[in-house]
């Protein structure tokens, strides 16, 4: 890229622009040549580049080209980490030095389909597109020493490593097992090059089916940091001992309650409400949402702050939590515990009888929580039902009046919610129940109670108030952004709904209520769950950013996350901004827009990493639970259809498993992409998204979380009623016969 000679050093923006748009790797020499710098100016350029690296704007290593922090070099070494069910190859950069920025996931454009396997190294040219990073392979490299997580399998006097990935179908011979034995979960070092790849056990992790192993697998697989640095732990102990300090509003006399899941590990939030005595708000309410004052303990730039920012959020598994903050803070000093004086950032709300927010203010306060109560117990008290043994009868009697006020105020908030018509998708969440030894007792959907909706609506109100309060001060806001669906996804939804004879006009202004209306039209039909899931897939993924694009799903113009600073770094950023903007004491921070943008991108990626790790772990627990039922017939529902087969989930339990097309019989099967169906050419049998059928559970692998189904007794499943009238566009995408492509 040619540049005119410069009279002086280029600006930071000019350097970044050149690095990002250069057709070739850009080192110091290339930058100096592009800007026509003299020998003396090159000395200044070296200092400028060092400053930019220290500021986190660019990243490089000695002897290598520069690239934008959080980005990739134009040419770099990548390693294949996944091959999905559609045959798409995904890789990660072999070296990644952007502290606090998650490793990017790169889609590899193969020259020959099926040529690349997990673990292979490539020299590749990279480019950033609107959908992420893409790599174009230049050269296949020898395997460097790397690590794989897997289970040892014995065969005669030899051991083989079986990977934990669902897609990994290769096994590797073990050259050195150390003290590990067949059946052990191990971390191995990979060496050699195809076809002579071997592995050496570097760490024995124990029994893969033992309690806590499933979450350990996810922690290793996703690279989640689960050990705190010594300096962060030392700092946590120091700040935990500090006094709450003067100038706090005393709210210890109010019966503020924290309502959480029965298995909650920490308590960020607590609520209180009472009828408003202001004549100007007749029939309205006063409410307080008290949130743990984490910003008082975790200051910007501290060791604790660096650790929290690097983690981005806590990660919750059925058997453990990997916290964002050390446990002395997350589970003790910052956690709002019953009967203990705690530091809080209090959001005072004035709520009209219509549920509209009339006013809000924020204070630093001291609170003493009246009770930590489970959702189920709070609901039982309101409904006049018996509570659990965990809630003493005397305590229950004292809580009844505060809970009634909370419920009555919530009914007003619910009116406002119903008026704005947010997206209403009631998709079940699976809950894994373990005994005291970590063994699985049950896997079932979580019950959805009014108590859950109550807390959600109070939290939403506080989040809206936080965003608007910062906007009033023209302070930086870390918004929680949820943009409307793209046209491409709406077109796909239109085609999908047409298979159920449901009309969907593309020309309309799409609102959350548009999707609610679709579900109202569906009613209680059997297809409701899969249509609801398809509506969910149509939505964009929410993210954090300093530019406000609104929250489509909640139908809100301004929205920020304020209510969970113990477990989300984004909320801590909002707390610091409120403290700084309203001069509430130490710990405030008003970062620049560029820093907020980088921060938002990083914590959004870390959030996705946590979600994937949690989902993978639940899948493993479900597979372990179902492993006791291999060979049995189960009620299932088809959740996905591809040209190679369909995926089904066990009703009431979950866990997706594959039914390969090769096991559907010896006839041709046509795949209709628009209708999401597989149709037998001879029999006319149709397998369609949402179809309910009985399947035999053939395999359940707790280590990978994979399931595999078979048709019971070799019988074909009954086709769904609507399958006979499915409308197709053009020719079917694929024809299969006994699992082979034709």
Check if the beta carbon of residue 618 is closer than 8 Å to that of residue 512: no
d(CA 561, CA 336): 18
| More reliable by pLDDT, 393 or 275 | 275
Tell me if 224 sits within 8 A of 332, measured CB to CB. no
Residue 69 in this model has a pLDDT that exceeds 70: no
Confidence of residue 495 (pLDDT cuts 50, 70, 90): confident
Distance CA 575, CA 585 (A): 12
Rounded CA gap, 147 and 367, in Å? 48
Residue 480 pLDDT: 97
pLDDT, one tens digit per residue, over 344-374 is 999 999 999 999 999 999 999 999 999 999 9
Q: 344, 248 in Cβ contact below 8 A?
A: no
Q: Mean pLDDT, the chain, as a whole number? A: 84
Q: Are 368 and 270 in contact, with CB atoms under 8 Å apart? A: no
Residue 403 has pLDDT above 50, yes or no: yes
List of domains in the chain: 12-68 (1.10.10.10), 75-141 (2.40.50.140), 146-208 (2.40.50.640), 230-481+546-616 (no CATH), 487-539 (no CATH), 630-741 (2.40.50.140)
pLDDT band, very low/low/confident/very high, at 692 (cuts 50, 70, 90): confident
Res 695 pLDDT > 50: yes
Those residues with Cβ within 8 angstroms of residue 474's Cβ, 6 or more apart along the chain or in another chain: none
Binning pLDDT at 50, 70 and 90, where does residue 147 land? confident
The residue written with tokens 């548009």 in the block is: 514
- Kindly give, in sequence order, each residue whose CB lies less than 8 Å from that of residue 43, ignoring residues fewer than 6 positions away: none
CA-closest candidate to residue 142, choices 75, 94, 200, 83: 94
Tens of pLDDT, residues 658-683: 888 888 877 889 998 877 789 998 88
Contact by Cβ (8 Å): 550, 540: no
Instruction: Answer whether residue 29 shows pLDDT above 60.
Output: yes
Query: 365, 289 in Cβ contact below 8 A?
Result: no
At 708-721, the pLDDT tens digits run 999 887 544 444 33
Q: Quickly list DSSP for 261-323.
A: -TT-S---EEEEEEE---GGGTT-EEEEEEEE-GGGTS-TTSHHHHHHHHH-B-EE-SS-EE-
Give me 50's structure tokens. Answer: 């060092």
pLDDT digits (tens, 9 = 90+) for 212-267: 788 988 888 888 888 898 999 999 999 999 999 889 999 999 999 999 998 888 99
At 163-172, the pLDDT tens digits run: 887 666 678 8
Residue 125: exposure state from Cβ atoms within 10 A (0-12, 13-18, ≥19):
middle
Gap between the Cα atoms of 646 and 163, Å rounded: 23
DSSP 324: S
> What pTM does this model have?
0.75
How many Å separate Cα 440 from the centre of its chain? 24
Mean pLDDT for the stretch of residues 76-98: 75
Question: What's the token pair of residue 71?
Answer: 């980005």
The lowest-confidence range among 43-52, 171-180, 317-326, 669-678 is 43-52
The first and second tokens of residue 11, run together, are 């600006």
Give the Cα separation of 48 and 9 in Å (integer).
9
Looking at residues 308-322, what average pLDDT do you find? 93
Q: What is the mean pLDDT of residues 27-52?
A: 80
Angle between helices 375-383 and 393-420 (to 10 degrees): 90
DSSP 426: -
């Amino acid at each position: 890229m040619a540049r005119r000679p410069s009279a002086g050093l280029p600006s930071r923006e000019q350097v970044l622009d050149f690095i990002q748009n250069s057709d070739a790797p850009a080192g110091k020499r290339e930058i100096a040549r592009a800007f026509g710098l003299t020998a003396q100016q090159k000395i200044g350029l070296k200092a400028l580049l060092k400053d930019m690296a220290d500021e986190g704007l660019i990243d490089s290593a000695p002897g290598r080209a520069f690239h934008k922090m959080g980005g990739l070099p134009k040419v770099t070494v990548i390693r294949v980490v996944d091959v999905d069910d559609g045959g798409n190859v995904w890789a990660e950069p072999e070296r990644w030095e952007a502290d606090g920025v998650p490793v990017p996931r790169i889609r590899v454009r193969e020259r020959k389909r099926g040529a690349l396997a997990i673990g292979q190294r490539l020299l590749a040219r990279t480019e950033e597109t609107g959908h992420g990073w893409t790599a174009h392979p230049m050269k296949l490299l020898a395997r460097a020493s790397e690590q794989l997580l897997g289970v040892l399998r014995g065969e005669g006097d030899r051991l083989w490593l079986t990977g934990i990935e669902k897609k990994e179908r290769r096994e590797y011979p073990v050259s050195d097992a150390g003290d590990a034995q067949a059946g052990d979960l191990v971390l191995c070092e990979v060496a050699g090059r195809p076809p002579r790849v071997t592995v050496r056990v570097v760490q024995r992790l124990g029994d893969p089916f033992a309690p806590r192993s499933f979450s350990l697998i996810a922690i290793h697989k996703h690279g989640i940091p689960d050990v705190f640095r010594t300096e962060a732990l030392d700092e946590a102990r120091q700040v935990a001992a500090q006094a709450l300090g003067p100038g706090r509003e005393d709210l210890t006399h109010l019966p503020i309650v924290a309502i959480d899941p029965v298995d909650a590990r920490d308590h960020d939030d607590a609520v209180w409400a009472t009828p408003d005595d202001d004549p100007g708000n007749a029939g309205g309410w006063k409410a307080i949402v008290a949130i743990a004052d984490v910003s008082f303990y975790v200051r910007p730039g501290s060791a604790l702050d660096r650790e929290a920012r690097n983690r981005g959020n806590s990660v919750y598994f059925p058997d453990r939590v990997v916290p964002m903050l050390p446990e002395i803070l997350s589970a003790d000093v910052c956690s709002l515990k019953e009967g203990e004086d705690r530091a809080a950032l209090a959001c005072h709300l004035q709520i009209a009888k219509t549920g509209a927010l009339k006013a809000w203010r924020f204070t630093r306060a001291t609170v003493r929580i009246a009770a930590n109560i489970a959702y189920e117990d709070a609901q039982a008290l309101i409904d006049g039902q018996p509570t659990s043994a965990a809630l003493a009868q005397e305590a229950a009697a004292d809580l009844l009046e505060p809970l009634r006020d909370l419920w009555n105020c919530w009914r007003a908030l619910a009116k406002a919610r119903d008026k704005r018509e947010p997206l209403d998708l009631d998709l079940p969440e699976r809950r894994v129940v373990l005994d005291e030894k970590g063994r699985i007792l049950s896997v079932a959907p979580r019950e959805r109670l009014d108590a859950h909706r109550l807390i959600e609506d109070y939290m939403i109100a506080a989040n809206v108030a936080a965003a608007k309060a910062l906007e009033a001060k023209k302070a930086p806001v870390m918004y929680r952004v949820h943009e409307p669906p793209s046209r491409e996804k709406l077109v796909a939804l239109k085609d999908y709904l047409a298979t159920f004879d449901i009309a969907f006009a593309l020309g309309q202004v799409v609102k959350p209520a548009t999707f609610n209306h679709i579900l109202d039209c569906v009613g209680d039909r059997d297809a409701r769950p899969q249509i609801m899931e398809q509506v969910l897939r149509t939505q964009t993924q929410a993210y954090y950013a300093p530019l406000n694009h609104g929250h489509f799903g909640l139908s809100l113009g301004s929205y920020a996350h304020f209510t969970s600073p113990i477990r989300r770094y984004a909320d801590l950023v909002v707390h610091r901004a409120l403290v700084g903007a309203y001069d509430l004491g130490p710990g405030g921070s008003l970062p620049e827009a560029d820093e907020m943008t980088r921060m938002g991108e990083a914590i959004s990626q870390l959030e996705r990493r946590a979600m994937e790790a949690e989902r993978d772990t639940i899948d493993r627990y479900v597979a372990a639970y179902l492993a006791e039922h291999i060979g049995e017939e189960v009620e299932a529902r088809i959740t996905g259809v591809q040209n190679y087969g369909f995926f089904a989930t066990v009703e009431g339990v979950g866990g997706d498993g594959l039914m390969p097309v090769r096991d559907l019989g010896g006839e041709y099967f046509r795949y209709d992409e628009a209708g999401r169906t597989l149709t037998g050419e001879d029999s006319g049998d149709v397998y369609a998204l949402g179809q309910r059928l009985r399947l035999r559970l053939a395999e359940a692998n707790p280590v990978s979380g994979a399931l595999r189904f078979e048709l019971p007794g070799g019988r074909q499943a009954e086709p769904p009623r609507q399958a006979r009238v499915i409308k197709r566009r053009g020719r079917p995408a694929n024809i299969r016969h006994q699992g082979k492509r034709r």
